[in-house]
Amino acid sequence: MLNPIWLNTFKTLVDVGHFTHTAEKLHMTQPGVSQHIRKLEELCGHALIKRINKTFELTEQGKLVYEYAAKSADAEARLFASLEFDNPFAGVCKLSCSGSLALKLYPQLLSLQQAHLDLKIHLEAAPNQKIFNDLQTDMIDLGIVTQKPDERLFQSTVLGSETLCLVLPKLYKESEINTDLLCDIGVIDHPDAQHYLSIYFNACELESLSKINLDKLPKSGYVNQLSQILLPVSRGLGFTVLPKSAITNFVDSESLFVVRPKTEVRETLYLVQKRNRDLAQRYHTVNSYLARIFS
């Protein structure tokens, strides 16, 4: 590896064109400048300059090393400039949330990007655990989850809440909603199904569902594509629990029956990031925008 100090001395010498002036500029002695050049030549295995009385000419190898030194100095200058430049309306923002929430948020985040074209939104739909894993491995910088984060690993704020709905085929609209009926129909499983079912049955205040055993609930299908989860429900093949936003965006919502519980079931949304990680200013822009959406 080339010594950056020797490389800088060599570049300065070529730029200034004089050993004495180089020494003055670098606050060195002239023998010190000569020593740096000699050590750099030894490391490169070639003479870099040809001395002519009090002046010098670059050798062909010297021209290549000078070009390398100039590019390195320029790259370093750009790096330091970029470290100082933290535009709140420019750069890539990598965040993740549930698929249903992505349906709601993505169009609005695109509006933010349209207002600030140098801001690039990268949004991934994922279940809670993947979001936590991706935050830990720095695959994403922000996540919206429905599970309270581990405070030892993450810092979070409450962003808002989302309504959860028990959804059945429309043909059961006049039926009594109880454990036997749901077991007969079977659940359409998906990555967040157990989480949603548990929250819903515990909070809906429907006595007939409060003691349902999720482990023994028959599964009539599984799909991990959010846009497809309600399709088998609409065809009478099962029931499921999903956030209201997913139902609103389903094209055939007329074929669904959404149960009205005694108490609306709402799920807390947490805006989460890796603990002790300082995010760029552009993430403060996104955070403020998300806060306005949920306010």
Distance CA 280, CA 82 (A): 12
Distance CA 121, CA 20 (A): 54
For residue 84, what pLDDT is reported? 64
Superfamily grouping for domain 91-161+268-294: Periplasmic binding protein-like II (3.40.190.10)
- Inter-CA distances, 73 with 45, 68, 292, Å: 22, 9, 44
Q: Same CATH topology for 91-161+268-294 and 162-267?
A: yes
pTM value is 0.66
Q: Domain limits of the chain?
A: 4-84, 91-161+268-294, 162-267
The answer, yes or no, to whether residue 190 has pLDDT greater than 80, is yes
The neighbouring-strand residues paired with 119 are 91
For residue 216, what pLDDT is reported? 84
For residue 127, what pLDDT is reported? 86
For residue 251, what pLDDT is reported? 86
Q: pLDDT, tens digit, for every residue of 44-96?
A: 999 999 988 778 999 999 999 999 999 999 898 888 877 767 889 998 999 99
> What is the overall mean pLDDT for the chain?
90
The topology (CATH level 3) of 4-84 is: Arc Repressor Mutant, subunit A (1.10.10)
CATH class of the region 162-267 = alpha beta
Q: pLDDT, tens digit, for every residue of 144-166?
A: 998 889 999 999 999 999 899 99
Counting Cβ atoms within 10 Å, is residue 85 exposed (0-12), middle (13-18) or buried (19+)?
exposed
